Every structure is written in C-alpha cells, then in structure tokens.
Amino acid sequence: MDTATDLQFPQHSLFKSVLLHILPGALTTLVFVLIKPLLDPSGFPPLLAFLLAVLCVDLPLQLAIMLFGGTRLNGRLSLKGVVLYRDKVSWKTFAFIFVAAFVVVYLLITLVSPLTTYLANTVFSGLPKWMFLEEPTQYSAFARNAVIALFVLQLVLTGVALPWVEELYFRGYLLPRISRYGAWTPLLGGLLFALYHGWQLFGFGTVLLLGAALGYVVWWKRDIRLSISLHLFANVLTRLMFLLAALAL
C-alpha cells in the first residue's frame, strides 16, 4: 500500500465526505416514505415506492454528482479523473480475491445476522412493518403477478444498476478522497456507507461489514472492478432468490 500515492488524490473535508455519503440515501428514504401512501391503491407492495425512489432520486443523484465533477475536471460529461482506483489486477488474482472475499464477507454477515435481528426487534421495532422490505410475509397479501413483476424490477434496479453505480460513487469516487486516513479509510467508508442506507438502518451491522470489506479490497488492489463484481454478484443472488420464491408461490 503506497500511502504517499493515496495522498496525491484530491481530498474532501470530513464534513463534505459525510454529506456526500449520506445525502443520496437520506433523500431516497424521504421520497420512499412520502410516496408510499400514494401508491397504496396501486395493488403493489411498498417495495414499488422504494424502487421508484431509487430510480428517480438515488441513482440520478449519485451519477449527477460524479458527472458534475467530471464536467468541471474535463470540460465534458466524463468520469475520467473522478472515479479512481482503476488499476487492473491479473485475472488469476481477480478470481482468487473474488472467491476469498465473497467467502469472508458471507461468514462475517452470517455472524452479524443476530445483531440485525436484535436491532429490528428492539431499536427499530417502532418502524412500520412495510419498511422491512426483505420480510417475505408482507408480500402474501398481494397478487402473485404483481409481486413477480416487482421482483423482476428489483432484480434490474437494486440487483444490477444500483450496486454498479454505488461502487463507482462510494468506492471509486468518495473512498480515495478520504484516503488520508490510511488503513482506517475503508472502515470509515464502510461506516458512512451503512449510514447512507437510511431506509434499512436495522441492517447497519451487515451493511457496515459489506462496505468495509469492499473498501478494503479496492483500497488494497486499487481495482474498482473487484468491488463492482462482488457487490453485483451478492445483490443479484439475493434478488434472484426473492424472484424464485415468488415464482414458486
């Protein structure tokens, strides 16, 4: 790890970094909560409100912030010089790190899952049940076709599009700009990534571990492709399980 090279990256103040980490999630959560009652007559689960918030707020805002920086830097719409950590490891190294990181993250998330359950049942027990989007029982009240259509949309949006953009934004854009914290950088990035997920703070421990692990992999090898592929694989796998469960109903 070359700390001197890290310090050559433009650095954000801690306040700016916290703001840029949390703002997209805070606005997405706000829109999700506000439009959910409006969509209740649609016959679709509350997941529809969340996916619309992701589509109309979260994704555009992250892309806009990066492209704005690219326009100022390059004089045109571009992510050159904005998304960093673009070194390319060999495919052999890529495959080894991908498998090892996935196994480690899976084990860590399994270990922390009791914390998620505890937070959901205590600290966040006052939240309306519809905010627990991964709770399968809430979908039984809706038409099977509506649930299937929604899970297909979820697979596309939060299985593929969102994790891709999140990695460019959080690990490619924001992470190198707090690299002055050295080995603490990925942990700080993971903490802020967890706070960004305002719509599921009951999953704070899981998201913190995921964000920190992805951050360390990228910070270590400086290859943003690693975190993109890991995040995509994990999200697609989870969303496919939801879709297959709906199809089996």
pLDDT for 108 equals 87
DSSP, res 197: -
Token code pair at residue 103 = 């196994």
Token code pair at residue 132 = 């627990």
Condensed to tens digits (0 to 9), the pLDDT of residues 13-59 reads 999 999 999 999 999 999 999 999 999 999 999 999 999 999 999 99
pLDDT for 246 equals 83
Residue 1 clears pLDDT 60, i.e. is over it: no
CA–CA dist 242, 149 (Å, integer): 12
Condensed to tens digits (0 to 9), the pLDDT of residues 157-175 reads 999 999 999 999 999 999 9
CA–CA dist 196, 165 (Å, integer): 14
> Among 214, 227, 222, which Cα is nearest to 186's?
214
Coil/strand/helix, residue 249: coil
pLDDT for 247 equals 83
CA–CA dist 91, 88 (Å, integer): 9
Percent of the chain whose predicted confidence (pLDDT) is above 70: 97
Size (the chain), residues: 249
Q: Where exactly are the structural domains of the chain? A: 3-247
- Residue 7 banded pLDDT, cuts 50, 70, 90: low
Phi-psi region of 66 (alpha: psi -120 to 50; beta: other; left: phi over 0): alpha
> Among 18, 25, 165, which Cα is nearest to 82's?
165
Q: Across-strand partners of 86?
A: 223
Contact 52, 35 (CB under 8 A): yes
Burial zone of 64 (CB within 10 Å; 0-12 exposed, 13-18 middle, 19+ buried): exposed
> Among 179, 163, 158, 156, which Cα is nearest to 211's?
163
Condensed to tens digits (0 to 9), the pLDDT of residues 116-158 reads 999 999 999 999 999 999 888 889 889 999 999 999 999 999 9
Residue 210 clears pLDDT 70, i.e. is over it: yes
- Residue 204 banded pLDDT, cuts 50, 70, 90: very high
CA–CA dist 223, 186 (Å, integer): 14
Token code pair at residue 15 = 């306040």
